[in-house]
Structure 1
Amino acid sequence: MALADHDPLLLLRQAISSGSPFIPTPSDDPGAAEAALARASHLQFTSRGTALPFDAPTRFISNDKPVDLRSIYFAWLNRELAIPEYNASATTLNDELAAAGSAGKVQNLGFIERLDLITWLEGASEESEYIKPLAGDAGAAAAGAAPAAKPGALSSATKARSGKGTMDPRLASVYDGERRMGDRNTALRGIKPMDFSHVRKLAVPFIQKKSQSASAVSTNPSLSINQKGPSRRPDPIILLSPSASSLLRMSNARSFLEDGKFVPPDAAASTASMLHVQRTMRGIDPNRPMRFILVEGSEQFKPEYWNRIVAVFTTGQTWQFKNYKWSSPNDLFKHTLGVFVGWRGEQAPDNVRSWGHRVLSTGVDRWRGGDGQDASRFRDKEVVEQIWKTIEMNMRSKGWRADAAPTSI
């Protein structure tokens, strides 16, 4: 049986995409009843007749170690929870596991790791910087992970996430209407298994030639300079202000930064603790849009995340920076760009003005509400373009490139 048939991540992603049930059970018996997660030892994929142990390692790597299936399943179940609630739930489950005599333990994932995992499981992304490809089958894993859905119908995962910070429902409907295209891996497989073992004999001369080239490099170290292979560029991070007086919050940030339309932050409530927006930065990578991760706090930051900060939105209140790597505004804005969004025609707070040119001060028209409100927002796009232009200039100066990110800012 193929390696992918028992890969925990692929089985879970396929079940989510197709809406097939998967339940925790106390044994690998196909007829076992569903059990509480603290007392379950296996995850049963009923439509596949397959049960995998919860302590099975997966290809998702955190802190250089594989994350077990129990932690992956727990992260999916609690995908809607904010970071504090997610951490509290993990602690509660670990206590229940210990009380039940289980040696298992749920591993807490960082907020970017969790966002990356959920995005991949839902099928919104075909790659992840934390998931190792299947040995010898990386292309097929991506192609087979998301079965085609009926045109015009949203998958159950998309319906569950619509409007909650992961994927805009309009964008999801466009994706669901796309024709699924195979790649060279799926084309080679055809409709029946093929034996390509004879290709090994053809590859022997090329492998020998590569070995000879490697030997030449080892004898002449100067040849190895800048020969490092390309790596996946990490997503840049934008920090929003958690202040209740901020005009830009998680509830309206996507509408403003992606669509160029400002709506009041209290017009649409949001429980999301993170989201992402896409923007093509032509001066950095004109061929593909960049994905920006938006968060309001840095509590779950790893040290390397600070090198990915490209902008900090602020109201001028210095308590926002208390837990930052650079808690002093003057130090912070030497390393990254500050952005203040206020009302057009009103003067920026004294703090913002005292921080000088390192903080971009902008203003949007006041929200009037009522009929005709869409027509009155035509100047919002001008403000958004000004913000993105300044962010792009700052990113270029810090070393962002099409295939690389700065190692220090």
Structure 2
Amino acid sequence: MAPIEDPLLLLRHSIASGGKIIPTTSADSSEEAPLSKATHLVFTDPARVAVPIDAPTRFTSTEGKAVDVRSIYFAWLNRDFAIPEYNAVATKLNEEMTGAAAVHMFAFVERLVLFTYLEGAQEESEFIKPLPGDKDAAAGAGAAAPGAASKAAPAASGRAGRGTLDPRLAEIYSGERRMGDRNTVLRGIKPTDFSHVRKLAAPFMTRKPGGGPSAGVSANPTLALNQKPTRRPDPIILLSPSASALLRMSNAKSFLEGGRYTPPDHGSASTMLHVSRLIKDIDASRPMRFILVEGPEQFKPEYWNRVVAVFTTGQAWQFKNYRWSNPSELFKHVLGIYLGWRGEEPPESVRAFGHRVLACSVEKWRDPGQPGAETSRWRDREVVETIWKSIEANMRAKGWRKDAAPSSI
């Protein structure tokens, strides 16, 4: 069999037949070399052919430039990578070649067309220039075999990579059923533009001014029946960022959810926690998820309507960035909670806040290895239940419901 000279056809044929493709440092070598140092690509099937690795191919990019052999082969080797990962390995290869050359970074559509062609699922594309002999082959087949046979000749010629076909073969090829892969069957060779769907959906998404969340669907009962229920926002609990606070991000979950106090780890890097609690008087069917944060720096204005409790040590600097920086005003809107050691009085600043701040105390922490250290920890759950009952009562008073948060507090 005469050797195929076109690099694209060589690569396509080798992939189909399972022939070896070896990057080498010379045309005569058969020793595999790194792609960054290779000068030739050696194909072993159907006959040994060495192609310069920087030779241009018939594949053209969206800018109209011919893509070289190295870029085509490298893209095929990394065909399973997504675009970001492919760009990363291509950049690494370009760095290894120290600027002597650079592989082409294929766009999504270019990769799609290239892979479907190399896999044999596509013959023609705007990105792939026809072989010089294809037009002559099509004309010769058209003169010998009328009708459908004349249409099949160019594709068959492109498949074989040789000159004109026997007219009888061209007629046989005309009845051939083309097979496709998932790319050609499901996606095609061009991305589909769905921007027109936005215009079609606009009448269904329009809301009447001042009509509330369901105003846009009031005229259409079918949409109203299919509309998904609004998701209830999660309530928020603010912890004190003070280093002296007994309850921090590192131990809040085990205390509020597990009912056991442990000392805080001040090295914790967590900025947000979630704890779950069944609030029976608001929603007896499912637990509510509470968000715990130490500060309101990432708050949107409407988040303040979801704050149900603020843990404090009594230090005024904690409230500097709050919606209400004055503690007396803050605790008119939000429940305050102070957690201290049993047997110690709360600070004077906390007592000055009055009844709007719930003062709780836990047994002092002792090393679990000491005798009797665990005997007093049963009171932790009692303190936790007191805190949750106060939070629940405050939420009911502020208007929390099974399916909605209050619009203001």
User: TM-score range, shorter-chain basis?
Assistant: 0.3 to 0.5
Greater relative contact order (Cα 8 A, min sep 6): structure 1 or 2? 1
Q: Which has the larger radius of gyration?
A: 2
